Amino acid sequence: MNIVQIDNWRDYRRDGEQFLHTATAAHQKKRKAFSTDTLYNVTCMAIEKLIMAFLMKNGDLAENHTMADLLRALQLHLGDIPDLTEKLLYMDTFQEICSLDNFTIHTPSEDDVAKMLAIGEDVRALLHPHLYDQRSSLH
């Protein structure tokens, strides 16, 4: 199978890394400007950017950008990821904003945020070998 990389996937990788770093540092330093809702959203953006970088590098895109949709797209390339499946579906339980009829937002607790940041690190760790493998990257 000949995979054509989608341009600027490295930008998505960089943005994902930066979002995750920002959320983690803000949480550790208890930055008042970062509410639990804000940390949730920044962490979700980090996860989305990292997964999109992986997909774009592999010439693919997700159908939508919910965690469930990003997971399905990842599974097409990596197979079943049971541990990550549960975690990404957990992330989706805080916001359902795709439909105006079922629009719901749940404010995460401090414990939820800690769990979310760990999920972000899990995604980063899973994808790191694929996103930084110099042998398979086109320069």
Helix (H) / strand (E) element for 29: namely: none
pTM: 0.89
Nearest CA among 82, 78, 62 for reference residue 70: 62
Per-residue pLDDT at 3 = 65
Asked if the model's pLDDT at residue 26 lies above 80, the reply is yes
Nearest CA among 135, 136, 116, 129 for reference residue 13: 129
The pLDDT > 90 percentage for the chain reads: 72
Nearest CA among 118, 7, 120 for reference residue 53: 7
Per-residue pLDDT at 116 = 97
- At the topology level, CATH places domain 9-131 in Four Helix Bundle (Hemerythrin (Met), subunit A) (1.20.120)
Domains of the chain, by residue range, sit at 9-131
- 95 bridge partner residues: 105
What is the chain's length?
139
Say if residues 122 and 46 touch (Cβ distance below 8 Å).
Answer: no
* pLDDT (tens digit per residue) in 102-130: 667 789 999 999 999 999 999 999 999 99
